[in-house]
Amino acid sequence: MTTNVGTLDRILRAALGLALLYLAFLSGIQFFAGPLSKFGATVIGIVMFVTSVTRLCPLYAIFGVKTCREC
């Protein structure tokens, strides 16, 4: 599979992923104390971070979207 995530998209995904992981485990915010919200934030955070590192988004591939100029 070819890469389909551009630089700005990667930065935003990495920041969102790390922010969600921080909120889930280190923030102490009452909303993220519940198991469902903690699990949801963790899963979404990991997915966002992994897609930013690999530069490959499966949903973009399904819909034919590319946010990178060089690919």
Find the farthest-apart pair of alpha carbons in the chain and give their distance in angstroms, rounded: 43
Q: Residue 21: which of 8, 35, 38, 34 has the closest Cα?
A: 38
Q: Give the pair of three-digit tokens for residue 63.
A: 């819909």
Question: Residues 10, 52: contact at Cβ < 8 Å?
Answer: yes
Question: Residues 2, 71: contact at Cβ < 8 Å?
Answer: yes
Looking at residue 70, what is its pLDDT?
83
What does the pLDDT look like over 9-43, one tens digit per residue? 999 999 999 999 999 999 999 999 999 999 999 99
Supply angle C-alpha 23, 51, 70, rounded to 5.
135
